Amino acid sequence: MATFWTYDYICSLHEEWTFLLGTRWNKVKGLYILTRFMPFLVLITNLYLNFTPTENPNKCQTLIDIDLSFGIVSAACSEAFFVLRTYVLWNNNRFVLAITLTVFFGVLAACIGTSFIADSTTPYVTPGLTGCTSNANLFIPFLLLFAGELVLSSLTLIRAIQNWRMTKGSMYVILVKHNIFYYGCGLFFSAVNVLTSLLLQYQYRAMFQDLQVIILAILALHMHLRLWQISERTHGHDSLVSSIPLTDMSSVTHMA
């Protein structure tokens, strides 16, 4: 996963620095930077957790809690982009914003609580092996995340169908323009983690859990970069990310 994330970062480095240097500072840009660099902290913590000799369970608990915290923050930042995108697709509808924010903060609070409860008494060390191991079952947090992503995906799909009925265009093209496949990919990985949390032991399900954090960040960042590039070509300015505040992104709706 560290190699995968680093490779993706290198491949998108030119586009990303063009975006970072060519746009003004605002909340969305700050969120982008946080979303970009949180997975690095997740991976560094993970590598240290797995490959450093540790025989102290208390130290293991601390490392696992730090890793879990970074993972939650990273996933929350990624999901925030999907919340904003859904809000824009609905023409800045305040009712949709209220629904998405309620779901977002409700899922976030519940995931934080259930994750640390599941993780509170699980770390242990194995003599002769490096790293710490945990038996934490994060079935409930991933089930909540799946429910939240299902709400966002459903709202986006409903909006795509409405636009398809009005324009009578190709359904596939409209779905692509509404980024439904980004939503679908995140939803798929959440479903995988729900199933693996039920069916597999920790050593096997953990790789899917960490992978989802990385995938969510990649999806959110690439979606945002793609929308910015379309905006640049269409309007000749950074309307998506620079010239408007975080809560006023309606100009993107017709563009993307």
pLDDT at 121: 52
Q: Report pTM.
A: 0.84
Residues above pLDDT 90, as percent of the chain: 46
Give the C-alpha separation, 13 to 244, whole Å: 24
pLDDT in tens, 152-172: 999 999 999 998 988 877 888
Q: What is the Cα 95 distance to its own chain's centre?
A: 23
- How far, in Å, are 4, 22, 98, 198 from residue 202 at the CA level? 22, 44, 36, 10
Nearest to 147 by CA among 181, 182, 177, 108: 108
pLDDT at 22: 84
Lowest mean pLDDT among 17-26, 52-61, 66-75, 101-110: 52-61
pLDDT at 249: 40
* Phi-psi region at 184: left, alpha or beta (left = phi > 0; alpha = psi -120 to 50): alpha
Reply yes or no on whether the pLDDT at 129 is more than 50: yes
Q: Could you tell me if 253 and 96 are in contact, meaning their C-beta atoms sit under 8 angstroms apart? A: no
Q: What value, to the nearest 5°, has the Cα angle with vertex 46 and ends 41 and 51?
A: 130
Mean pLDDT of the chain: 83
Give the C-alpha separation, 16 to 12, whole Å: 6
Reply yes or no on whether the pLDDT at 223 is more than 90: yes
> Rounded mean pLDDT of 65-94?
93
> Rounded mean pLDDT of 6-14?
91
